[in-house]
Amino acid sequence: MYELPKLQYSYDALEPFLDARTMEIHHSKHHATYVAKLNEALQNNPELFEKTPEELLRDLGAIPESIRTAVKNHGGGHVAHTLLWESIGPKSTGMPDGELMEAITKYLGGFEKFKEDFSKLGLGVFGSGWAWLVIDADGVLKTLSTSNQDNPISIGLTPIMCLDVWEHAYYLKFQNRRAEYVTEWWNIVDWEGVGEKYKKVMGKYA
């Protein structure tokens, strides 16, 4: 059975940019529910637990049709939130450096342009969804948004950072003001962690 990963920081560690109550409900209720429902969906196909949740999403065609949508939604929710907690943290350096910064400059027009485009992707999601920083099959850095819990892994991309724009991610503190939430969110991005992920994924292309 899959388990809810522990946060590497406390619920109040992202104050004042993101409040403790939102973090607590988001992790202990929303994310926990995705994990529980993913486990429930797989209960009659226990052999699937041998795969990681990422592997389930990478090949949704291999999932029995009767549970495919449940795996896409709840597995998608589990995997995206796991990456989300690793994308943010209390010790943000404000901007990336090293190889990740070089790739952002090379492929995404520089850090300021990337921030602007990524924010726009998040703000442009109609209803619920995500903005993503991903590496494609050729090792190229890209951004995109998806709806609901659809994960870029399912279309052959490797996400290294994500921004949750479901209302549950910001409503308690920001109500309908998604733009304000996204602006504040840049203050809590864990660039060291994202940079490490970048290097790890790119190592596979070397």
Residues in the site for Mn ion, rule: CB under 5 A? Answer: 164, 166, 169
Could you tell me if 101 and 119 are in contact, meaning their C-beta atoms sit under 8 angstroms apart?
Answer: no
Question: Torsion-angle region of residue 94: left (phi > 0), alpha (psi -120 to 50) or beta?
Answer: left
- Chain residue at closest Cβ approach to Mn ion: 164
Least distance from Mn ion to the Cβ atom of residue 81, Å: 6
Query: CB of 26: closest distance to Mn ion in angstroms?
Result: 6
CB of 157 to Mn ion, least distance (A): 20
Q: What are phi and psi of 90, to 5 degrees?
A: -80, -10
Residue 117 corresponds to which tokens in the numbers above? 């485009």
Residue with Cβ nearer Mn ion (2 or 166): 166
Separation CA 14–CA 17 (nearest Å): 6
Indicate the residue among 35 and 169 with the shorter CB distance to Mn ion.
169
Q: Which is nearer to Mn ion, 104 or 119 (CB)?
A: 119
Max Cα-Cα span within the chain: 48
Rank residues 166 and 191 by Cβ distance to Mn ion and give the closer one: 166
Beta-bridge mates of residue 145: 131
State the minimum distance, in angstroms, from the CB of residue 34 to Mn ion. Answer: 8
